Structure formats: structure tokens, C-alpha cells
Amino acid sequence: MAPRSRKQAVSHFNVMVVGFSGAGKTSFIRTLIEALKLDEKKEEEQAQSPTTTKKRRDSVASETSFVNVEPEGPIERTLQPYTVSREIEVDKERILLTLIDTPGFQAEYLVDKQLHDIMKYIEHQFDLTLAEESKVKRNPKAVDTQVHCCLYFMDPKKSSLDEYDVRILTKLSNRVNVIPVIGKADQLTLAQKNRLKVKITEDIYNKIPIYGIPAQQEDEEEEDEEDEENRKKPENLVEFIEQFDYEEEDQETRTILDYLKVIPFTFISYEDEPSTGKPLEIPNVPLGRDFGWGTIDCLSEIYSDFIQLKQVLLSSHRRFLQSDTVEQYYEQYRTERLTFKRATKLKSMDFSQQK
């Protein structure tokens, strides 16, 4: 028997950022990458043997055919979709994180066209998986390009979701796990931020089945009025969360509840050097913003939910998002495609017989 390979498999995790132009999508990607660099630097500093650490990291890099392309230069408006890949290690697991940036929605009359392009991209990744599954001999090195999570960035100037937000979120949530994010949260006072969070969750809770939001259950016709009342969905997300005794729940339920208590996440990007796009150097603040009257540490939970969102994406909810993509969204799309092909084939056969 051949010896078992010691090569550690790489888990692919793909995150797309979507939203209106100027909401902070590209800045989020840059901030996340810089935060990951800081994490790596801390790990290297804590390692007892720097030589051993470098050898391990070089080995990891040589085992993968993927090239990490770092964003360079000043931050500019995204005109064409692009991807940035970075290999990281989370909980002793190797992950190839791919971030997909998309052009921001602009004029109202272009929203549907832009949304159509985004949906086609997501569905194309499902098509690639379906084509691979249909092969007699599958490629053992096939790459998982499915979009596991879509971060929807919202304008902090809005007081609630408008009709375009609802339309976009509804479409996206039929094909991908959607997590709402309020961009540029430094433009909000604490009171404004709290009010906006509540309003957004109210708008989403009973309308849009984004990731983590409980689905509306259809009542059975045979249920009597008392059972129907007992099964009635809580009026809002706060009531839903209060149904649970947190201390008595299992770890998986607690993880979901922790997530629901925070959404929508707020985000503040680091201030960049205009000429390079690199983080502005601020004493004792690795990634921050300098307002003159004071500074903000973008990695501090006092000011935003960035660290919690990073934890959700890369650690606590990553496997949930990956499994949901395969078991729910891909299977739904696969069923739709195969059903359509079968119906088309039957229609074609019926037409031929009529001739």
C-alpha cells in the first residue's frame, strides 16, 4: 500500500462584496487584507523559531498553484470585477480566501443590469461545479469557485432599506448567503448607528431570507387556531432571539444567536495614504483614521464590528456558510437546471413526434 500523503488539503472560501458605489466595498477588502497581514506578523513574532516558521510558510506556498495578487496603489472606484486571493491558516486549517470585488450599483436604471451580471457570475460558478460532477472522470484538483458568502454594503446615510436594497437583497438571497454590512460607520453617531441597525433588521426580518434569519414557516391547513398561534413567527428579530435560553443552548445555536445579535455589521476602513493606498501611519494605531481631534482604531470593537465580522467569516461561521452553499443554494440551482433541461428535452421530443 502506498504511504498516505502528508499534504494538507486547502479549503477554498470565496467572499463577494456587493453594494452601491461609495459604500466601502473596496476599502473593506483592503482593510481585511491588512488585518490578515497584522495577524501573520503577530504569529511570526510569537513563534519560538523564526527559521522554522519561514520554512513552513515557504512549504505551504510551494504546494499551491494559486498566486496571491495584492491590491496596489491608491484606492479607486471599482469599474470591473476582480478577485484577490490570499492563503491563510485558521484553527490549524489551510484556507485559500478569495475576495471578489464588484462595481458598485449606480444610477437606478442600471441596477437591474448590474444585478443581472452579478447573479450570472454566481450561477456560472455553480455551472462549473455541475459540469465537473457530470464528467466520467472528475478532476481531483478541481477548484471550488462557488461564492460562499456575499457581503452587502449599505450606505450609512440611508435611514432604512429602500426599494433597490430590498430588490437586490431578495435576488441575492435566492442564490447565496447574504450578510448585511453598514459601510463607513464613522459617519454615524452611536445613537444613529443603533437606530439604523434596528430599522434594517426590521426591514429584513419579515421580507428577505438572508443568512441566519429564520425562514417563515407556512402553517398547515389542518392546524387549529391555538396551534397556529403557538407556531406564529415572532414579530421581530429581538423577539426571536429572546425565545432562547442562551445558557441552555448547544454551541451551534449559541454561534447563530451571537451572529444575529450583531447584524447588520458596521465597518470603518483605515485611512489610506492618497499616493500609495497604504494605511496611514498613526502612533499606536495599526489601522485607523486620524480626524485631528482624535483617532479611531478600526480594529477596536468600540468603534465597529469589523473584528466580529472577520471572526464570523473566517472562523465561527465559515463551515456553515460553505455547507449552506453546497446543500442549499447549489442543490437548488442544480435541481432547477436539470429540471429545465429535462423539460426542454421532452418538449423537443414531443415536437419531433408531431411532425
Q: 305-338, pLDDT tens digit by residue?
A: 999 999 999 999 999 999 999 999 999 999 988 8
Confidence at residue 77, expressed as pLDDT on a 0 to 100 scale: 73
Confidence at residue 50, expressed as pLDDT on a 0 to 100 scale: 53
Q: Considering only CA atoms, which of 146, 142, 153 is closest in space to residue 122? A: 146
Q: Give the long-range contacts of residues 326-334, CB within 8 A, separation 24 or more.
A: 326/146, 329/126, 329/146, 329/175, 329/176, 329/177, 330/126, 330/129, 330/146, 333/123, 333/126, 333/130, 333/175, 334/126, 334/130
CB–CB of 169/161 below 8 Å? Answer: yes
Confidence at residue 125, expressed as pLDDT on a 0 to 100 scale: 94
Confidence at residue 117, expressed as pLDDT on a 0 to 100 scale: 93
Confidence at residue 337, expressed as pLDDT on a 0 to 100 scale: 85
One digit per residue, pLDDT tens: the chain, 355 residues? 444 444 567 889 999 999 998 889 999 999 999 999 998 888 777 775 555 434 333 333 333 333 345 666 667 777 788 889 999 888 888 999 999 999 989 877 789 999 999 999 999 999 999 888 887 677 777 788 999 999 999 999 998 899 999 999 999 999 999 999 999 999 999 999 999 999 999 999 888 999 998 776 544 444 555 555 556 778 888 889 999 998 989 999 999 999 999 999 999 999 988 888 888 899 989 999 999 888 999 999 999 999 999 999 999 999 999 999 999 999 999 998 888 766 665 555 555 555 5
Distance CA 11, CA 96 (A): 6
φ and ψ at 8, to 5 degrees?
-85, 130
Q: List the domains of the chain with CATH numbers.
A: 11-42+67-133+142-215+235-334 (3.40.50.300)
Residues ≥6 apart with Cβ < 8 Å to 315: 90, 91
Q: Considering only CA atoms, which of 340, 226, 313 is closest in space to residue 16? A: 313
Confidence at residue 52, expressed as pLDDT on a 0 to 100 scale: 43
Confidence at residue 8, expressed as pLDDT on a 0 to 100 scale: 63
